[in-house]
């Protein structure tokens, strides 16, 4: 899968994002040149491509490879289904997914944005009875979460929930105690 050296102990991951070396190697996430590389796999765990994130202030932050259709995949899907839990947490981004996994929530996937395709919707209904959307705490995230809950409620699952992170935050900005508070579904 790797035809070039990836730095799993990249300082950005370990010191700025506080992701442990064990988790970076588990996900295969690491640094290369001025990028962090996120490997995306198909539902069976076969490597598809890397999504690079630039580390400077260049826009866009994420550079999708030519021909890559992110609407066909959920980041971490193959690992999340192997966790064999009844519920899955759905977040927007790579870092939110990795952070929740590191905090002890292995059944977590990322949409790789704030949109959800029919294919991604279908993938979510294949393995889990409960779907919990934890989108970013901004206006696009709140709108998307409301829409996703409405759409998924039509799928016949046992439960579909939207949980709100504090305004202006993302799941990867929160501590374990804050995540536990957000996940109290009442």
Q: Express each pLDDT in 99-114 by its tens digit.
A: 999 999 999 999 999 9
pLDDT confidence bin for 143, thresholds 50/70/90: very high
Give the Cβ contact number of residue 21 at 10 Å: 13
How many percent of the chain have pLDDT more than 70? 98
- Quick: pLDDT tens for 42-92: 999 999 999 999 999 888 999 999 999 999 999 999 999 999 999 999 999
pLDDT band for position 186 (cuts 50, 70, 90): very low
Cα-Cα-Cα-Cα dihedral of 141, 50, 70, 108, to 10°? -50
Q: pTM of the entire structure?
A: 0.95
Q: What are the backbone angles phi and psi of residue 115, rounded to the nearest 5°?
A: -125, 155
The fold of the 11-182 domain, in CATH, is Dna Topoisomerase Vi A Subunit; Chain: A, domain 2 (3.40.1360)
Pairwise CA distance, residues 179 & 182, whole Å: 5
């Amino acid at each position: 899968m790797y035809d070039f050296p990836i730095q799993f102990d990249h300082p950005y991951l370990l010191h700025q994002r506080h992701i442990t070396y064990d988790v970076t190697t588990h996900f295969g996430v690491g640094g290369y040149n001025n990028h962090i590389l996120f490997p995306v796999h198909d539902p069976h765990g076969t490597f598809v491509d890397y999504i690079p994130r630039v580390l400077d202030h260049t826009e866009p932050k994420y550079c999708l490879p030519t021909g890559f259709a992110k609407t066909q995949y959920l980041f971490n899907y193959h690992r999340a289904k192997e966790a064999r839990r009844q519920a899955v947490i759905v977040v927007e981004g790579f870092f939110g997914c990795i952070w929740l996994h590191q905090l002890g929530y292995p059944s977590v996937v990322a949409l790789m944005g704030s949109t959800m395709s029919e294919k991604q919707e279908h993938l979510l209904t294949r393995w889990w009875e409960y779907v919990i959307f934890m989108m970013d705490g901004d206006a696009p995230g709140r709108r998307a979460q409301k829409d996703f809950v409405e759409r998924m409620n039509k799928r016949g699952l046992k439960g579909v929930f939207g949980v709100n992170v504090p305004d202006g935050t993302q799941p990867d900005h929160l501590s374990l105690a804050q995540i536990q508070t957000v996940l109290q579904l009442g």
